[in-house]
């Protein structure tokens, strides 16, 4: 709310500033008011961006917690995350890294190892490829030695297909993936 207030104030100052014209004092005052309006606008934009970024991270963290305790399955978790910030890119290295990148920000996923982490990463990968097929090659899944989207595409393709079969009905209804 504070961010939007600063942005609104910047517009009010800018609109009122248009009426000040004429003498040298008017031009100096006009330049000063333009600078003040710009500062308010930038400050408000930063506050709004920070709030939404932080809010999205908290929402994604809550979804992951629900998934970890078993109150939602992997497809529902990925579907909820995709609604918060559409998934563009996935980076997963078993035990080391699990990150997703959306339209607005990047998010570190605390679930980095185990079968649940693998399934979640595979489903995130499928959604990222569906959302942004032109970036397919930028996604990285390194599930285990010999299972990687970068070097062992045939082996991992079989694993991805098995996860797709496991969640076939949910994938089609919740995410539109067949």
- d(CA 48, CA 6) in angstroms, rounded, equals 10
User: Any idea what DSSP says for residue 93?
Assistant: E
Where do runs of H (alpha helix) occur along the chain?
2-18, 24-69, 74-84, 115-131, 153-166, 168-170
Give 57-80 pLDDT, tens digit per residue.
889 999 999 999 999 999 999 999
8 versus 133: the higher-pLDDT residue is 133
149 versus 14: the higher-pLDDT residue is 149
Q: What is the mean pLDDT of residues 133-152?
A: 82
Give 104-126 pLDDT, tens digit per residue.
788 999 988 888 999 999 999 99
Whether residue 93 contacts residue 149, with contact meaning beta carbons closer than 8 Å, is answered with no
b/e sequence 143-160, b meaning 16+ C-beta within 10 Å:
beeebbbeebeeebeebb
- d(CA 82, CA 60) in angstroms, rounded, equals 9
Coil, strand or helix at 136:
helix
Per the structure block, which two tokens stand in for 3? 């961010």
Cβ-in-10-Å burial (0-12, 13-18, 19+) of 139 comes to: buried
The predicted structure's pLDDT at residue 157? 83
Domain boundaries, the chain: 2-52, 72-175
Confidence of residue 25 (pLDDT cuts 50, 70, 90): very low
Q: What's the pTM?
A: 0.68
How many CA atoms are closer than 13 Å to the CA of 128, on its beta-carbon side? Answer: 24
């Amino acid at each position: 709310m504070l961010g939007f207030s600063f942005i609104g104030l910047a517009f009010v100052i800018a609109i009122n500033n248009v009426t000040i014209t004429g003498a040298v004092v008017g031009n100096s005052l006009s330049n000063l008011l333009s600078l003040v309006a710009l500062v308010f606008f930038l400050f408000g934009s930063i506050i709004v961006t920070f709030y939404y970024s932080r809010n999205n991270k908290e929402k994604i963290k809550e979804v992951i917690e629900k998934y970890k305790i078993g109150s939602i399955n992997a497809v529902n978790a990925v579907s909820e995350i995709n609604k918060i910030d559409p998934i563009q890119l996935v980076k997963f290295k078993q035990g080391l890294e699990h990150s997703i990148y959306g339209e607005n920000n990047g998010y570190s996923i605390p679930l980095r190892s185990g079968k649940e982490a693998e399934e979640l990463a595979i489903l995130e990968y499928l959604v990222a490829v569906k959302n942004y097929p032109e970036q397919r090659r930028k996604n990285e899944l390194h599930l285990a030695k010999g299972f990687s989207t970068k070097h062992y595409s045939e082996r991992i393709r079989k694993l991805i297909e098995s996860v797709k079969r496991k969640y076939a009905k949910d994938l089609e209804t919740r995410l539109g993936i067949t």
